[in-house]
């Protein structure tokens, strides 16, 4: 009898496990991990240094602290080391392959990464939309109060205030309006989908290449590479018969 995986009352031998992986469409996830591990294998990494850094960052300064943490996480030391080395190699792999592209990629993405804080009123009543617009623009009525009373979308709950959100979040028409606005600029009722929209830009927050943005963009480039690798990698389940008939993995 070969190896068997037991989960609760269910036991799975190799053929049954392979069947379940195929049934649950988990083979692409396995393929993804294998592709990554193959790609990062040549990256040099000192396991001891990585482990020391991990312990320092998590305040695991004694062996007793480390053992207690491992027990809480239900991990062995070898399992933790494997994961730490994997993450360290992957980090270096991303940096080596796409770090030099980040400045130009940031400029490509900046328009959608810029953030805006804006006020919004949506209604399907054209005459009401015009009335509200003039009450705000000419009479100086409070945008927030009118939004609470008359907005027909979820913005009524926040007095019309939305954000800050990236410009990729609002409807493209609204995003374009906000992207060319000056703070305080009020837009007359504009048809967007099923709504008439009154909008005012409150604050524009330009995207900056801080560490969080840098890591996000680095991961985007890596994920695009991984997607291409998955597309180019054949995946099929081979039977053990003398005349193998591949079964495509869907």
| Residuewise pLDDT in 10s, the chain (250 residues) | 678 889 998 998 888 988 888 899 998 899 999 999 999 999 999 999 999 999 999 999 999 999 999 999 999 999 999 999 999 999 999 999 999 999 999 999 999 999 999 999 999 999 999 999 999 999 999 999 999 999 999 999 999 999 999 999 999 999 999 999 999 999 999 999 999 999 999 999 999 999 999 999 999 999 999 999 999 988 877 766 545 555 555 4
Q: Which domain holds residue 64?
A: 21-99+214-237
Q: What is the DSSP string of 61-85?
A: -SHHHHHHHHHHHT--HHHHHHHHH
Is residue 124 a part of any domain in this protein? yes
Is residue 55 located within the same domain as residue 122? no
Tokens 């379940």: give the residue.
20
Is residue 158 located within the same domain as residue 179? yes
What is the distance between the alpha carbons of residues 155 and 133, in angstroms, rounded to a whole number? 16
Instruction: Report the domain count for the chain.
Output: 2
Cα-Cα-Cα-Cα torsion 211, 214, 218, 220, nearest 10 degrees, comes to 120
Is residue 53 located within the same domain as residue 94? yes
Cis peptide before 15 (omega within 30 of 0): no
| pTM over 0.85, yes/no | no
Neighbours of 103 (CB within 10 A): 11
The dihedral through the CA atoms of 177, 183, 187, 193 has a sign that is: positive
Is residue 9 a part of any domain in this protein? no
> 24: which 2 tokens?
């649950």
What is the distance between the alpha carbons of residues 117 and 167, in angstroms, rounded to a whole number? 10
Is residue 106 a part of any domain in this protein? no
CATH code at position 197: 3.10.50.40
Can you give the pLDDT at residue 235? 81
Q: Where are the alpha helices (DSSP H) in 58-198?
A: 63-73, 77-98, 102-113, 126-137, 143-150, 172-179
Is residue 92 a part of any domain in this protein? yes
Is residue 196 located within the same domain as residue 126? yes
Tokens 């030391």: give the residue.
77
Can you give the pLDDT at residue 236? 79
Nearest Cα neighbor of 118 from 163, 176, 151, 156 is 163
Can you give the pLDDT at residue 32? 95
Is residue 220 located within the same domain as residue 201? no
């Amino acid at each position: 009898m070969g190896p068997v995986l037991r989960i609760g009352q269910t036991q799975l031998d190799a053929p049954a496990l392979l069947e379940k992986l195929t049934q649950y469409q988990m083979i692409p996830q396995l393929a993804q991990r294998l592709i990554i591990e193959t790609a990062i294998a040549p990256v040099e990494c000192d396991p001891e240094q990585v482990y020391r850094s991990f312990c320092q960052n998590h305040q695991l300064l004694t062996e007793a602290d480390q053992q207690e943490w491992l027990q809480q996480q239900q991990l062995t030391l070898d399992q933790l080391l494997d994961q730490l080395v994997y993450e360290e190699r992957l980090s270096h792999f991303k940096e080596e392959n796409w770090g030099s592209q980040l400045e130009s990629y940031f400029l490509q993405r900046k328009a959608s990464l810029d953030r805006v804080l804006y006020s919004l009123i949506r209604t399907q009543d054209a005459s009401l939309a015009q009335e509200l617009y003039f009450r705000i623009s000419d009479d100086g009525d409070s945008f927030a109060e009118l939004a609470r009373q008359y907005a027909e979308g979820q913005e009524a709950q926040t007095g019309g205030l939305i954000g800050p959100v990236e410009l990729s979040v609002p409807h493209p028409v609204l995003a374009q309006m906000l992207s060319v606005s000056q703070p305080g600029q009020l837009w007359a009722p504009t048809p967007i989908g099923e709504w008439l929209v009154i909008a005012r830009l409150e604050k524009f927050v330009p995207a900056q290449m801080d560490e969080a943005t840098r890591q996000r963009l680095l991961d985007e480039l890596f994920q695009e590479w991984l997607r291409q690798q998955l597309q180019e990698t054949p995946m099929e389940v081979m039977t053990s018969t003398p005349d193998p008939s591949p079964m495509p993995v869907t």
